[in-house]
Amino acid sequence: MAKPTGFLEYPRETPKRRPVDQRVHDWLEVYEEFPIEKLQTQAARCMDCGIPFCHQGCPLGNIIPDWNDLVYRNRWRDAIERLHATNNFPEFTGRLCPAPCEAACVLGINADPVTIKQVELEIIEYAWQAGWVRPQPASHRTGKTVAIIGSGPAGLACAQQLARAGHEVTVFERDDRIGGLLRYGIPDFKMEKRFLDRRLAQMEAEGVVFRPGVNVGKDIDARELLEEFDALCLAGGATQPRDLQVPGRELEGVYFAMQYLPMQNRRNAGDEIPDEEFISAKDKRVIILGGGDTGADCLGTALRQGARQVLQYEILPRPPATRPPEQPWPLYPNIYRVSSAHEEGGERDYCIMTTRLSGENGRLTTLHAVRVEFVNEDGRQVMREIPGSEFSEPVDLLLLAMGFLGPEKGGLLEQLGVQLTERGNVWADENKMTSVPGVFTAGDMTRGQSLIVWAIAEGRAAARGIDQYLMGETLLPIN
């Protein structure tokens, strides 16, 4: 283990965030640098448990105690090799994953858990700076071709694994740039796009062909790809947003989060978007419906754009401050969390249900809502409106961040005729193959809305299934 008494000697410490009055005026990442000496001290807190439950908490099966020990001992080259053995993109997960591994840390039973996520991030950044992250082109080519539809973390992980196995891989993306939600869903203050671009350059050097601006199912019939390629992988995500079914929804000024967030990312990338087309929160009263990560992304973006006021409403109750009894260790608990965006401003409120919207001359001016409570009826939670709690709030811009309902139907899925689950996701067997032979699936498209770490794990699993299908055997890892 790193240091036998480290968890007794050192308190948990994480990087500081840049001052709010500084960071809300730019789109740079919010965290300050974390000195290597402090990181090694944090790695020393790892207990190297007899049964490391952090493995169970991580969908990728990251070998966490090993690379904690290696960082503590200043063996960075060995640490990145151990980390890359299970995770293609630790620079993404180290910034964006909510770290279920830390929730499962044994030290976290009665103390603060190890800063696993930060150690992971520092390992990969150290490796990039040292020049150790280089293209790994296959030593031989199989002659087999694979088309991957969708360039989010699941599609990219699948593509890299298959390219390194020697297959000819082409990634199709309907947006004008590669990256999926990493590119246009994640604000730059959470992950600057230069970190994505350097990894894409590595993948291109490994032989992956990227084809942005191609909407499979619309620009190309998916059945044509079945004839052209030996295998397909569907990794288009769960991009069907949950809508707000209330009177007044049609008013101007109501947008889905994924209509709003990409525009700012495009401007940050240098795209010219006319002001009359750009959705901006500047000088506006903004209400965000949805209390999850997407809602927080909208909050941080609206504050940087200069919103006059931002309210964030959630229909569910406020989560407890500490782990609830029904979510015992090592489960990932639903607790009250304060993101960097919440530090920056805005107000959060809970148990609020929107009843209708109203406006003038076709434009939104007011949100009407009622407070609700959740009561136990025959062992299940039932939502009830609280009589007399109706209220209205002036609003200029309403952003819907209420989650997603699965993959978009029609087009691609309809052309291929793949079987769907009861929840509307793409069905897959234990090898990630759909009901159509040679067509595989990975990520949110089959799993439903989930975490980035699950997307990468799904992509790696699909790559293994595809390699097995094409070659009759595979040496690609299960995780």
Q: Mind listing the pLDDT tens digit for each residue in 217-239?
A: 999 999 999 999 999 999 999 99
Residue 102 has pLDDT above 90, yes or no: yes
The reported pTM is 0.96
Mean pLDDT of 431-456: 97
Residue 471 has pLDDT above 90, yes or no: yes
Structure tokens belonging to residue 106 = 């044994």
* Cα distances (angstroms) measured from residue 347 to each of 303, 392, 416: 12, 16, 45
What whole-number distance in Å separates Cα of residue 388 and Cα of residue 203? Answer: 59
Render pLDDT for 194-207 as a digit per residue (tens, 0 to 9).
999 999 999 999 99
- Percent of the chain residues past pLDDT 90, beyond the cut: 96
The amino acid that residue 13 corresponds to is E
Task: Tell which phi-psi region holds residue 374, choosing left (phi > 0), alpha (psi between -120 and 50) or beta.
Answer: beta
Mean pLDDT of 279-289: 98
The amino acid that residue 362 corresponds to is G
What value, to the nearest 5°, has the Cα angle with vertex 287 and ends 303 and 153? 70
What whole-number distance in Å separates Cα of residue 426 and Cα of residue 344? Answer: 39
Residue 77 has pLDDT above 70, yes or no: yes
Of 32, 96, 42, 44, the residue nearest 73 (C-alpha): 44
What is the pLDDT, as a whole number, of residue 1? Answer: 66
What is the pLDDT, as a whole number, of residue 48? Answer: 84
Mean pLDDT of 181-190: 97
What whole-number distance in Å separates Cα of residue 202 and Cα of residue 190? Answer: 22
Mean pLDDT of 44-67: 93
Segment among 124-128, 363-367, 375-379, 416-420 with least mean pLDDT:
375-379
DSSP per-residue codes, 312-381: EEESSPPPPSS--TTS-TTSPP------HHHHHS-EEEESEEEEEEEEETTEEEEEEEEEEEEEEETTEE
Residue 396 has pLDDT above 70, yes or no: yes
**pLDDT interval class at 11 (50, 70, 90):** very high
Structure tokens belonging to residue 295 = 């809602």
**pLDDT interval class at 50 (50, 70, 90):** confident
Mean pLDDT of 158-163: 98
What is the pLDDT, as a whole number, of residue 478? Answer: 81
* Cα distances (angstroms) measured from residue 129 to each of 55, 91, 134: 27, 12, 11
